[in-house]
Structure 1
Amino acid sequence: MTIKVLVVDDSALIRQILSEIIKSEPDMTLVGAAPDAFVAKKLVLEKAPDVITLDIEMPKVDGLRFLEVLMNAKPTPVVMISTLTEKGADATLRSLELGAIDFVAKPKIGVAQGMADYHEMIVEKIRTAARSKVKKRNPTKSAAVKTVSYSGTEKVIAIGASTGGTEAIKEVLSTFPANAPATVITQHMPAGYTSTFAKRLDAVCQMQVKEAKGGERLLPGQAYLAPGDKHMEIERSGADYRIRLSDGPRVSGHKPSVDVLFTSLCRSAGSNAIGVLLTGMGSDGAMGLLELRNAGSETFCQDEASCIVFGMPKVAIEKGAAKSVVSLEDMGSVVMNAVEKLDAGSRL
């Protein structure tokens, strides 16, 4: 099946580069290149694209407003084209809240060459978006927080996600109470975006959420997000668990890698860990989750019906890594139930 793609960008250069990339792919067809939201609206109605690449910063009507109207009127998979700045990161995360599937960050310098170098990444994101599930946006409901009687430092929750994961992580984490076990998170995201993502999570969660810096002692009530350009591992340090950041090669195609996080937690915490694998393309996290299950950990995968992209959880389920397959809506309460069922125990 040929993927019909519409490019929306006020930069003639970016429109040309993206158009050439799309035309070079045998499974894609360029149905239009719009310089603004008004032309884009007309082309959406005439061409019914399967995927739209959308610039955030446009004159007249910006990308976020166009996206909001699109998702209410004619939900369509969208890949945002954003700028790698703090303001751009915040707008990008807002676009994911509004229903965009993924994003591509424009290079700060050498935009033309940089975008051309991103050829494979761009077409992969377009293909993923074409296979994703887009639903009409509904008003956000306040998450019900599951209280727990648990107290201690021996348990650790680990969450991994990719495409569609920013909203999935927010939905799960916002149900955790302030005294939840220390939680470590790896979300596939470029450097420059994770600090903003952590701040946005912190604003809506009872737990304190921060981007990991390395060396932190894991504490209850704290959630730590892997930075976008480092692997995050959990190590034993005497009676503590501590975070170690490393700048090694990509693992399972990614840095940060969910497999790296899960495998390290398997070594350091064993059955005191709880592993959660959410929506995402590819297979990162599947092997690590299997190692956690084999070590006696509780392991959960998001179900197909609630995933934006049923890739990583699907592979993990097929490998037998998931003890339970759970809807996104129920994941937070199910994980907290698992926390209460675990023995008080000790890792010492």
Structure 2
Amino acid sequence: MAAAVKVLVVDDSLTMRALLSGALERIPGVVVVGSADGADDARAMRQQFHPDVMTLDVEMPGMSGIEYLAELMDERPMPVIMFSTRTEAGAAASIEALRLGAIDCFPKPKVAVAAEFDKILAKLGKRIKAAKGAVVKSGTMGKAVAAEPIDWNGRLLAIGGEAAATQTLFDLFGSFAKNCPPTIVVQHLGAGLAGTMIDQLAAEIAPRIVLAEDGMAIEQGTIYLAPPGDHHVVVDRWPEGRLRMLPRDPVAGERPSISILFAAVAKAAGAEAVGVLLGADGEDGDAGVRALQAGGGYCIAPAEPRTDGYVMTRRMASQAVPPDQLSRQIMRLCSK
């Protein structure tokens, strides 16, 4: 029997700490080892209880959650799940937290009652269990430099990942050539975060990045980020394809679904399709990789460093690529 996931809850509100701790204790296989009211308390409890995962409030007096997260990721990285307010400032803080290396960011319930926590309990439990043992990178990486223009070979690029892939996506797109292959992205972001992520990326990267909409022409030099919500995103044909939104049920609890996107790209583009699957959580994406390969396409996944070399995070992918070579390999696959 697997050992329980040990969680440390950090929030300056006594009520929120009690409600969140109570909710987490109802998740099988999860145990709350402590609750801290700020960074100082959290440091001491981390030394005392050695938690596997931390939940952290973004908005705390004194040292904010973002500042403490940056300290954690710089000194002793560990899996962290953030909680933030449902505001424009909260969305910006959420993206910053994910970029620093947080596993996910959940909106705080509008009303501090147990029933509100119940609405996110299943997804929160899934994220916490997936976070245990996850490889967490430091958030203090240098700014990526855009690659030289490519001689595009006509391949269509699809990328899928969890919220924890935010840091990787900023690094990846920062090193993309301005005339990068047309790129469609499904990332499991919380509601209201996609627009903020696009705004932050647009200020830093060479290619154009937009929120995907039904009927959009798929063009070179553009990255399309699928909005979270009521639709899956697919491709109608290739070449000269357009994006289409499908109002179907969630797949593996996710909508839009990585697997739906990959399967659609495989059907439309066949051998001209390239997929990139980020992250080690296997519920959404694996079926899409199989569809890509069955259609003649190619899928790569980042490899995690180990003492004896690199290990692929998704074993069914065509190739494992060290993170610092990911952009270079994508451009190579999509160039003549």
With normalisation by structure 1, the TM-score equals 0.87
Report how far residue 246 of structure 1 moved.
2.4
1:57 alignment partner in structure 2: 59
Secondary structure at the residue paired with 2:206?
coil
2:196 alignment partner in structure 1: 196
Matched AA of 1:331: L
2:283 alignment partner in structure 1: 283
Instruction: Measure, in 1, the Cα distance between the counterparts of 2:272 and 2:138.
Output: 39
- In structure 1, the gaps of 5 or more residues are 342-348
Instruction: Measure, in 1, the Cα distance between the counterparts of 2:148 and 2:289.
Output: 24
Secondary structure at the residue paired with 2:19?
helix
Query: Cα gap change, 1:311/1:244 in structure 2, threshold over 3 Å: closer, same or farther?
Result: farther
1:345 alignment partner in structure 2: none
Q: Does 1:212 align with 2:207?
A: no
Query: Cα gap change, 1:301/1:146 in structure 2, threshold over 3 Å: closer, same or farther?
Result: farther
Report if aligned partners of 1:232, 1:245 keep a CA contact under 8 Å in 2: yes
Secondary structure at the residue paired with 2:81?
strand
Which structure 2 residues correspond to residues 250-261 of structure 1 after superposition, within 5 A? Answer: 250-261=250-261
Report how far residue 163 of structure 1 moved.
4.6
Deviation readout 1:258-317 (Å, 9 max, x if unpaired): 1111111122222222111111412322222222222222321222339xxx99952xx3
Of the three residues 319, 328, 332, the one matched with 2:323 is 328
1:162 alignment partner in structure 2: 162
Q: Does 1:177 align with 2:177?
A: yes
Secondary structure at the residue paired with 2:186?
strand
Instruction: Measure, in 1, the Cα distance between the counterparts of 2:311 and 2:25.
Output: 26
Query: Cα gap change, 1:25/1:217 in structure 2, threshold over 3 Å: closer, same or farther?
Result: closer
Which structure 2 residues correspond to residues 1-348 of structure 1 after superposition, within 5 A? Answer: 1-108=3-110, 112-143=114-145, 145-150=147-152, 154-229=154-229, 230-236=231-237, 240-305=240-305, 313-314=313-314, 317-318=315-316, 322-341=317-336
Instruction: Measure, in 1, the Cα distance between the counterparts of 2:226 and 2:311.
Output: 21
Report how far residue 136 of structure 1 moved.
4.2
Secondary structure at the residue paired with 1:250?
coil
Report if aligned partners of 1:301, 1:325 keep a CA contact under 8 Å in 2: yes
Structure 1 range deviating more: 159-168 or 27-36: 27-36
Matched AA of 1:272: E
Report if aligned partners of 1:172, 1:328 keep a CA contact under 8 Å in 2: no
Secondary structure at the residue paired with 1:240?
coil
Instruction: Measure, in 1, the Cα distance between the counterparts of 2:97 and 2:24.
Output: 22
Query: Cα gap change, 1:208/1:108 in structure 2, threshold over 3 Å: closer, same or farther?
Result: farther
Query: Cα gap change, 1:19/1:290 in structure 2, threshold over 3 Å: closer, same or farther?
Result: same
- The alignment-based identity, stated in percent, is 33
Instruction: Measure, in 2, the Cα distance between the counterparts of 1:294 and 1:129.
Output: 30
Report how far residue 40 of structure 1 moved.
2.1
Report how far residue 109 of structure 1 moved.
5.2
Instruction: Measure, in 2, the Cα distance between the counterparts of 1:32 and 1:93.
Output: 26
Instruction: Measure, in 2, the Cα distance between the counterparts of 1:106 and 1:241.
Output: 39
Matched AA of 1:232: V
Matched AA of 1:36: G
Report if aligned partners of 2:143, 2:174 keep a CA contact under 8 Å in 1: no
Instruction: Measure, in 1, the Cα distance between the counterparts of 2:127 and 2:280.
Output: 11
Report if aligned partners of 1:279, 1:312 keep a CA contact under 8 Å in 2: no
Matched AA of 2:119: D
Report how far residue 244 of structure 1 moved.
1.0
Secondary structure at the residue paired with 1:178?
coil
With normalisation by structure 2, the TM-score equals 0.90
Instruction: Measure, in 2, the Cα distance between the counterparts of 1:11 and 1:112.
Output: 15
Secondary structure at the residue paired with 1:124?
helix
Alignment RMSD (CA, Å)? 2.4
Deviation readout 1:56-82 (Å, 9 max, x if unpaired): 011122101111122233322211012
Aligned structure 1 segments of 4 or more residues deviating by more than 6 angstroms = none
Deviation readout 1:113-152 (Å, 9 max, x if unpaired): 221222222222222222211244444243452531227x
Structure 1 range deviating more: 288-297 or 175-184: 288-297
Instruction: Measure, in 2, the Cα distance between the counterparts of 1:61 and 1:272.
Output: 49
1:346 alignment partner in structure 2: none
